Amino acid sequence: MLFSVRLISRQPPEMSTEAWQQIVAEQYRAVKQLYDSGKIKAIYREVGVGVLAIFDVNDAREMDQIIAGLPMFRFFAETSVHALWDMAPTLASA
- Whole-prediction pTM value? 0.87
Q: Is the pLDDT of residue 93 over 90?
A: no
Which residues have CB under 8 Å from 29's CB, separation 6+? none
Counted domains in the chain = 1
Residue pLDDT, tens place only, 21-42: 999 999 999 999 999 999 999 9
Q: What is the CATH number of the domain that holds 7?
A: 3.30.70.1060
Contact between residue 75 and residue 10 where contact means Cβ atoms under 8 Å apart: yes
pLDDT value of position 6: 96
Please give the residue range of the domain that contains residue 32.
2-93
Residue pLDDT, tens place only, 43-58: 999 988 899 999 999 9
pLDDT value of position 78: 95
